[in-house]
């Protein structure tokens, strides 16, 4: 189980066939006083902006309507065969394993649900993700869960039309040492039947980022 924890921390596994969580603000526990000016400024910045019924309806309509970014996600729909390459450390030999993935748009084309099945360290592995484009935040958001953890990883990122690449990043707690670490991934649509997913995470010895996983997906049919 220790090796599983190390692999999970090193890979932050997996994909949107798919998985940023932004870091929260940190409170300074050493400070016990607050100036009136600072307090007033904070209150003003957090003041609620009044919204009438017409603006409310327009806002909700814009937030809920699928658009071009969602159509990009739909291009990843279908059944895919994956070839996974993993590295336990920057200088470690690659480990290869097969896998499969099904992507489908759900809830009226607003999200893409992905289910991945394969193996890790010789054991059955399965994971599920949900990816969508948040019209309000104007970023792609994704969640990831799998059978080798109990947490939910989130990522955020953008689509680069020039390179046909979705780049996302997030943070997670490494189960091996309890420390928060950064993780990021890219999913490149090479063509209609080929996509490459790459992931980077911390080296367990140094904490420095390195590429720990690559998956080549080929579409069936």
Q: pTM for the full model?
A: 0.79
Q: For the chain, what percent of residues have pLDDT higher than 90?
A: 75
Task: Identify whether the C-beta of residue 115 lies closer than 8 Å to the C-beta of residue 125.
Answer: no
- For residue 2, the model assigns a pLDDT of 36
- For residue 10, the model assigns a pLDDT of 40
Q: Among the residues of 14-114, which ranges form H helices? A: 36-45, 53-64, 68-74
Please tell me what DSSP assigns to residue 188.
Answer: E
- For residue 44, the model assigns a pLDDT of 63
- State how far the alpha carbon of 58 is from the alpha carbons of 61, 63, 74, 144, in Å: 5, 9, 25, 31
pLDDT tens digits for 6-58?
344 444 444 334 433 333 334 444 444 444 455 555 556 689 999 999 999 99
Handedness of CA 14, 19, 20, 23 (dihedral sign): negative
Q: What is the mean pLDDT of residues 146-165?
A: 96
The closest alpha carbon to 127, from 158, 152, 105, 108, belongs to 152
d(CA 164, CA 162): 6
Whether 212 shows a pLDDT value over 50: the answer reads yes
Whether 4 shows a pLDDT value over 90: the answer reads no
């Amino acid at each position: 189980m220790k090796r599983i924890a190390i692999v999970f921390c090193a890979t932050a596994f997996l994909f949107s066939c798919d998985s940023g969580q932004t870091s929260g603000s940190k409170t300074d526990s050493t400070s016990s006083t607050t100036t009136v000016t600072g307090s007033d400024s904070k209150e003003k910045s957090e003041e609620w902006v009044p919204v009438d019924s017409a603006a409310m309806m327009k806002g909700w309509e814009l937030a809920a309507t699928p658009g071009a970014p969602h159509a990009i996600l739909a291009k990843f729909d279908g059944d895919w065969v994956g070839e996974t390459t993993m590295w336990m450390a920057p200088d470690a030999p690659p480990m290869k394993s097969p896998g499969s993935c099904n992507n489908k748009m759900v809830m009226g084309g607003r999200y893409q649900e992905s289910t991945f099945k394969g193996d890790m360290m010789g054991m059955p592995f399965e994971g599920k993700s949900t990816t969508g484009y948040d019209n309000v935040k104007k970023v792609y958001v994704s969640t990831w869960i799998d059978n080798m953890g109990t947490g939910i990883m989130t990522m955020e990122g953008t689509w680069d039309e020039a390179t046909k690449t979705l780049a996302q990043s997030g943070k997670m707690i490494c189960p091996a040492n309890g420390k928060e670490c950064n993780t990021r991934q890219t999913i490149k649509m090479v063509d209609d039947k080929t996509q490459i997913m790459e992931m980077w995470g911390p080296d367990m010895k140094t904490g420095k980022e390195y590429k720990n996983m690559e998956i080549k997906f080929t579409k069936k049919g």
